[in-house]
Structure 1
Amino acid sequence: MTGPVGQEPFEGDDRLYSPTRLAGWLQEVNGPERMPPLFLSRAAIEALSTGDLLRYNDRRVVWHANIGPIRTPQLLALHEDLREVVESNRQDSDKAKPAVLVDAYPGLGKSTAVREFGRDYYREQIVLRGETTPAGDRRVPLIYIALTGNTQIRGLNAAICRFYGLPDSGDADTLAERAKDAVLSMRTAVFVIDDIHFLVPTKANASSVRMANHLKFLANTFPVTLIYVGVGVRARGILSEGESPDQMLNAQFGRRTTPLTLLPFQIDDDEGRHEFRNLLLTIERKLVLAEKYPGMLADDLAGYLFARSSGHFASLMTLINRGCLRAIRTGQERLDEDLMDKVKNDAAAEQARQEYVAALKAGLITAKPVKPAVRRKSA
């Protein structure tokens, strides 16, 4: 279907790919940085033709939906810890490399943060070592796979093969050997395995023991650093020591795994309030709304946004993204409480909302810093 007479079809700025496939992962790694739409005044927006207005608003919607990743103190700390483990794992292949478990509450952006680390690491390795191996194969320093609720050993091996674009036929052992050949030939150094909690049942059984043994097999036979990402994994005891067979497997896993986490924003002290304010200022600068103004988020909506997000980054970004869409569609071109009250958010954030609202109104908590930020002197 073509567009209006005299106009080219407009596909929009959406980027559709799967990071669990090599082609998609390369698009995430090598894709150009998004550029914000041109900022237009209300008068300039009103002067646009119908077609130009539709295209301008479409670009703004896609832009607001893809703001980030924002390099918050939490994200930078996680990246530093990941880098320390990965870069120190230079053991020869006859030694198992220690793994990492990034375990945090849902909605904190841990998968996004780990993929951002993976993207940086991938780029650095290509700059350092080149796009091809000495044998002439494509160099793939890091792969990313995500598990499902029914992933078994064969499914995990098949997911690794599918990432590389290899056939996923055969039994678990055949797939494992196929994946191993790809790892060695493409010089892969890191596996990111997301949603690892799907492999950690709340109660140990034969299937979970086999999977624990398979993770041990991967660590022993693949010369890679395993970065697991999940929710509530440590609480299920996988890193704890014990006497039962499944607990001994947990102990072995725990001895080889470094636990990391990603914390929500908090406003219990001024340090946390300043961090939250800096986040809102950063987001505010990125919004493309004709009537936005300095302090729209960081001053006038700080408490409101914290109450509606509970300090969880994903909930906050969903709320702001949808608010911007409503501000564009209604022609308000700015965010305020009246508009934001009409925006729906995720169930967990809405459930915690009233408690925070009550505490803010009672003066028990505040999102605004009490003291000015302390500026550190440069060396």
Structure 2
Amino acid sequence: MTAQDREISVTIDGEAITFDVPPMMIDNHAFVPFRAIFEAHGAVVSWDEAHRSIEATRGNHMIQYSIDAALMNVDGKPIFLERTAVTVNNRTLVPLRAISEALGSDVKWDSATKVVTITTTEPTILKSEESSPITKPKLSFKVTSKTDINLKMTTDVRSKVAENSNLRFEVHYYGVKENRFYTALFISSHQDKDMRVSFAPGDKKIIAEFSKLRDPMPSNQYNSCMIVSDNIVYDDSECTSNNAAAAQAQFEEWQKNNFGISEEGSDQVTVRREIQAADGSLKDYIVPANDTIILIINSPLLNDDTMLTLDGSYYIDGSPDKTFPITLEYEVDKNMGLGLYDLYLTGLLFNY
């Protein structure tokens, strides 16, 4: 049997790993089923279906990996990969070396025998007084009446729900990074009519997340830059430069409206847009009937901020005279961090 005929095998600390889908070599990188490689390292791994991402912890190492983007968040730092994950026989395969090294292991490849040798390190668990743990914020809430939505967040859990007969209001996770506060809001209408949601002015950004069909790439025709003089053909450099600038501007506009997360081979893409007015307010944003919208809000923090309040209101479409208040109060812990939700909350997966 030649080396080319051999299947790839993987050992970790001298023990062979068995995979239900064999390892594959793709673009000179070994790919293996994600759960098997994480668990072989002794990592606790989970799958987030809503965001199609893998979350894993081993010791002090924390990883979030979106399988639709060549990007991984390791201990709060983004790492750009050469290739996205792949799906084979209903199994998600991930790059073995990138995952193993992110978990602190050493990886060696023997091309002659097609053996990957992984050597792990002991997971480091710092004492609480030495570490900077990611605090899980505590979220308590109360509905002050049948129509008011009032949420209060203190430091212990990442998500909670408040709802009444009209609206469901979910704070899924939030935290602080580089002195900016981030929160993700999932707002659902319980009515057969659209709801209209508003937020008061303030120094903040409000980003909407939604799915759309990807637009065709721009294919405009540009001016010919060819000049013929004395039987000599050459390009007009100014014309060429103008064409390049126009093409770049068109591509950037297309990218702004179409860059996001999508499944391989699909024209459906999830994108994000800033939707706040110049003063940071949001006016009458539609929550479609019996549907859900996702808003990401981020705001700078002052040095002495210990609480952050977001005030808003809503009404049922067609009844603006019956407007009801929304209040969100967050206890700010500047050491909280964003944890595994860093890429999602800061928009690195979307580049909006």
What TM-score do you get using the length of structure 1 for normalisation? Answer: 0.25
What TM-score do you get using the length of structure 2 for normalisation? Answer: 0.27
Structure in which a larger fraction of residues adopt strand: 2
Structure in which a larger fraction of residues adopt helix: 1
